Amino acid sequence: MGRFSGTLLCTDFDGTLASPDGSVSSRNLEAIRWFQEEGGLFTVASGRSPEFLKDLVHILRPNAPVMALNGGLIVHHESFSVLDFCCLPDEILTAVKALCAPGTCQIDLWYGEGELLRWKRDENRSLADAFAEARPPFYKAVLIENTPEQAVSLRLEAIERYKGRFLFERSWPVGLEVLPSHGGKGAALKRIKRLCPGVSRVAGMGDYENDVSLVREADIGIAVENALPCVKEVCDAVSAANDSDAVWYAIHNLL
């Protein structure tokens, strides 16, 4: 039995594990290896695609299921075969069209087996024509505005119109995620725990709005120092900033 036997550490990637330039520091990697050698299970919870995360496996070497698309897909940490998923209702297409009627948003729609349909503001094809290419299941849509203020305003409008039918969370200042009402990182963390027999303690780390449910759901919810106030409000502890080896600090001082 190692020091971290029975512990699952699930961390956001961008803004948490990754440095501002997108790299992962050697101290974070060393801490992850030690955590695993001491019996811990490590994985990543990200809004990124399975393909993006697959490219990181040789660096991060997770030993527990990986969460992609903000919980839309849970994949095996080695084969990346789908272990679990959480889908949007088909009405997502109608809702996105209504929310983006003025045509100001760029829209990313993730569907199928992790495929991306992207519609940009200056495209010649209509949004309806673009959506005709997509087939369910739909995992998430991202509405990308020009400014953070527009994204916040769009989120408030979306909640007013579709409260209870979808989740609306920003994952970066101008990107509004549209997720299943029963989805998000917190719900996916529960599903990952069920896939990991023997786990008795779960730690979740994050920095942004889409990490709130992850941090809140964990037994030990950790916000990084650079996290938004809404994440710090629900956390149990605050780690170092993502540019100061946040995961290293959490493993050595908070777990």
Residue 128 is part of a domain; what is its CATH number?
3.30.1240.10
Q: Is residue 1, in this structure, part of any structural domain at all?
A: no
Note the pLDDT of residue 122: 75
Q: Is residue 207, in this structure, part of any structural domain at all?
A: yes
Judge if 80 and 15 occupy the same domain: yes
Q: How far is CA 117 from CA 27, 40, 120, in A?
A: 37, 37, 10
Quick: pLDDT tens for 154-173.
999 999 999 889 999 999 99
Judge if 176 and 188 occupy the same domain: no
| Residue 33 φ then ψ, to 5° | -60, -45
Judge if 158 and 197 occupy the same domain: no
Quick: pLDDT tens for 174-214.
999 999 999 999 999 999 999 999 999 999 999 999 999 99
| pTM summary value | 0.94
Q: Is 20 exposed, middle or buried (0-12, 13-18, 19+ CB in 10 A)?
A: exposed
Judge if 108 and 162 occupy the same domain: yes
Q: Which of 180, 199, 215 is the last residue of a domain?
A: 180
* 10 vs 204: CA distance, rounded Å: 5
Q: Which of 160, 180, 200 is the last residue of a domain?
A: 180
Query: For residue 37, what are the domain limits?
Result: 7-85+184-253
CATH number of the domain to which 71 belongs = 3.40.50.1000
Judge if 75 and 196 occupy the same domain: yes
* Side-chain half-sphere exposure of 219, counting CA atoms within 13 A: 12
Share of the chain above pLDDT 70, in %: 98
Q: Are 64 and 42 in contact (CB under 8 A)?
A: yes
Q: Which of 180, 204, 237 is the last residue of a domain?
A: 180
Note the pLDDT of residue 120: 85
Radius of gyration of the chain (CA): 18
Q: Does 242 have pLDDT greater than 90?
A: yes
pLDDT band of 125, cuts 50, 70, 90: confident
Q: Does 103 have pLDDT greater than 70?
A: no
Judge if 49 and 159 occupy the same domain: no
Number of folded domains that form the chain: 2
Kindly report the CA angle at 126 between 124 and 129, in degrees rounded to 5?
115
Q: Are 236 and 221 in contact (CB under 8 A)?
A: yes
